[in-house]
Copies of this chain bind each other. A is one copy, B any other.
Amino acid sequence: MSILLKNVSLDNQITDVFISENKFKKIAPNQNVNADKVIDCSHFAILPAFYNCHSHAPMSIFRGISDDKNLFDWLNNDIWPREAKLTDEMIYTATKFSIMEMIKTGTVFFSDMYFGMQPLLKAVADMGVRAALSFGACDLFNSDKCKVEIEKINDFLGTQNPNSELIQKVLAIHAVYTVSPELIEFNVNLAKEHNMRLHIHACETKKEVDDCIAKYGLTPIAFFDKHNALSDKTTLAHSVWLDDNDIKILADKGVWLCTNPSSNFKLCSGMFMLQKLLDSGCNITLGTDGMASNNELSMLSEMKLCALAAKIQSQNPTAGSDEDVFKIATANGAKSFGIDAGEIKEGKLADCILVNLYNHFLVPNYNLISNMVYSADSSAIDTVICNGKILMQNHHIDGEEELTDEMKNLSNLFR
């Protein structure tokens, strides 16, 4: 499969982009080349697609079912009892539906932590996006449950990966307050053995940090560091509550911090110190978190809040620049999971979006990156390409009507 994007705007220059197999093969104007598909891009600019580095995709089934509540009330009364009722079929459909929303909003990769790994793997493969999937094992400091969870982790590792070109399995440490040191060490050792990445919820709330210090005498970052869980192959979701020593450890080890501003605001967790962490040399990515605490999976909305929150948090309007935030949402996300993409350059994997320069949110167009970060919504994104394959064109995804119907039917079960 090859695609020729004719007369597309790239960095304010009109050029042709030739995609062969799964890569950007040649970027130059006026290409005369045989392609399986030619797209007239005279109204379009090409941009990197988005990499959503922290989500719980099956939770789309719970969008809007419970809002504006205290965390404990929300989890205990509204979320956990419903999660217990999820079947494999529900997880499959809800994950596909979430991926549809991600594609509609320009995302081609997500890093997920949940359960029901077989339907999750199948949903990702069927939708054609990239993903890093982890099973969110929690033993709640119970040694019997620890054994059960280790069995489930081994099951997950043994489950066939339906598309290992696009999907990687990742190991999860749910959080310092849900996982015993034994299970942490099991995951860390397994990750080393199999050269796998780690995905951890860390320092989301002040209570989490205070409790960890009270229990272990260490901050969660120092605690995870002691257990050798921190490296440039680790992503820490949230990372709101960090002290200067934590920041030094994180910068030194090249750990990836995935900020989730909508979720942190909605659940009142706090505000990520974006500019301070950037200035300290930390690696940063962006994620939407799950739909129950966001309630959408748009990296466009998330970029805007990321940039705005950085300013209020630091009391500095120059913090969280559009350039920095766009890079965090694209190139950084790809890099954090070892995907050679996130930039429109020859030789890179062919992940990209085509945005309509006649969409009102992109007019005037003094600065396309500013428009994407501060203005655009999904209506600006016409086409999404992942690994050289078209996932959406003219705002349409194959099968979206049927998938929407299935999701509507499924959600009736939770009313």
Contacts and interface: CB of A to CB of B under 8 A. Distances in A.
Interface string A235-266: 00000000000000000000000000010111
Interface residues of A, number: 70
B65 A364 contact: yes
Contacts of A68: 307, 311, 317-322
A363 B411 contact: yes
Contacts of A305: 305, 308
Given A69-B318, A411-B366, A63 B266 contact: no
Q: How many copies does the complex hold?
A: 2
B311 A265 contact: yes
Contacts of A400: 360
Contact of A363 (B62, B271, B375, B407): B407
Contact of A379 (B295, B308, B379): B379
A195 interface: no
Report which residue of A62, A374, A415 has the largest number of chain B beta carbons within 10 angstroms of its beta carbon. A374
Given A296-B375, A360-B100, A308 B265 contact: yes
Contacts of A278: none
A316 B67 contact: no
B67 A321 contact: yes
Contacts of A382: none
A316 B71 CA distance: 10
Given A360-B104, A364-B411, A365-B411, A378 B379 contact: yes
A22 interface: no
Nearest to A317: B268
Interface string A301-321: 100110111011001111111
13 contacts: A63-B364, A63-B370, A67-B367, A68-B320, A69-B317, A100-B360, A267-B311, A295-B370, A295-B374, A305-B308, A360-B400, A363-B404, A366-B414
